[in-house]
Amino acid sequence: VGGGSTKPTSDRTAPKLTMKLPFHVGGQYYTIAGMTEPGATVFINDEEVDVESNGTFQKLVALNKLGPNSIVIKAVDAAGNQTVQSQSVIVEE
């Protein structure tokens, strides 16, 4: 009985995206971590990141440029709504 789309068309709310401060691991490496709504897809600098079932995620990012670097984090929910944030870090020699 009944079929229909698995994507709710009424969802127009962008997913929540809460970021922790970037954690400097050493050199040009930073751990980027945060939380979004469960089921959302997260991209850090256009690379897809694994999201846990509770919505948390974490990724080690290597920045190749000395000085200020911008890291763009994007969360996209199943309905296609998206939230974008950016964080800046400074890579020193």
34-85 pLDDT, tens digit each: 999 999 999 999 999 999 999 999 999 999 899 999 999 999 999 999 999 9
Q: What is the pTM of this model?
A: 0.84
6-28 pLDDT, tens digit each: 555 578 899 999 999 999 999 99
**Dist CA 22 CA 44 (whole Å):** 12
Identity of the amino acid at 50: D
- Helix and strand numbers, DSSP H then E, in the chain: 0, 8
Residue 68 DSSP SS3: strand
